[in-house]
Amino acid sequence: MVARRTLCLVTDVLFVRDRKDPSKFHPRISVQHDFVYEALWDKDKAVFNRIYNDYYYRRNNQFWYHEAMKKLPKLVEATGMLVCAEDLGMVPDCVAWVMNELRILSLEVQSMPKDPRVRFGHLSTFPYRSVNTFSSHDMPTLRQWWDENWERTQEYYNTMLYKGGPAPHPLTGLLAREIILRQLLSPSMLCILSIQDWLAIDEDLRLPDADAERINIPANPRHYWRYRMHINIEDLMANAPFCAAVKDMVQQSGR
């Protein structure tokens, strides 16, 4: 109980005192998810958000831009491979400046839109200089995501897949195939999908337990790089229906 009360005292603050200058304070990261923020009046939230956004996204733009331009060009020039940035989550304005100047590909994930005004990214708006995927090593697979939040899935089913009625659970192979095809049809230069999401289209090949397909859970230190393919590559290549389905989608999308 004492530990819990101590944690509440630590987290029940909007600003954290600067360690070097006690007269200065910094907005606490992600405090918008805590009660101390929710208890504010709307006008006070607006003021806090202006301070928060200025501190994390704008105030140090020039500093981080110059730091990036000192180091990143050497990394980009050191390889003939295309470079992709994991520009997700909290991304300062200067990140886009650097990526554009160095021609670095962005990472586009439909379930994590960069436009705060929408719940899902519109595939047709993805930039050409980008990598499109539905799930990464640190995210739930397509099948997991589908059952993670039924209300969210229902909205995706109606507004992104343009289907009426209730969304089916669990995700059917036929519907997984449609989602994968839509990803392939995006204008992104590259569409890279996990083997778990490819296998989702075949209900005979995929694992019965969708949770067993997760690679990493960042919040769980005991769940990392856990996934192992349950089918060897030779058997997968010999599976004519699956290979034909993949070939058909690749041809339809022009990939």
Residue range 184-209: mean pLDDT, rounded: 97
* pLDDT for position 15: 94
pLDDT at 96 over 80: yes
pLDDT at 6 over 70: no
Task: Name the percent of the chain lying above pLDDT 70.
Answer: 96
* pLDDT for position 4: 46
pLDDT at 218 over 90: no
What pTM was estimated for this model as a whole?
Answer: 0.81
Find the distance separating the first CA and the last CA of the chain, reported in whole Å: 57
Residue range 35-52: mean pLDDT, rounded: 94
Q: For residue range 151-188, what is the model confidence (pLDDT) as tens digits?
A: 999 999 999 999 999 999 999 999 999 999 999 999 99
Confidence tier at 5 by pLDDT (50, 70, 90): very low
Of 29 and 155, more confident = 155
Task: Name the percent of the chain lying above pLDDT 90.
Answer: 79
CA angle 115, 132, 102 (to 5 degrees): 80
Residue 86 has φ and ψ, to the nearest 5°, of -90, 70
* pLDDT for position 2: 45
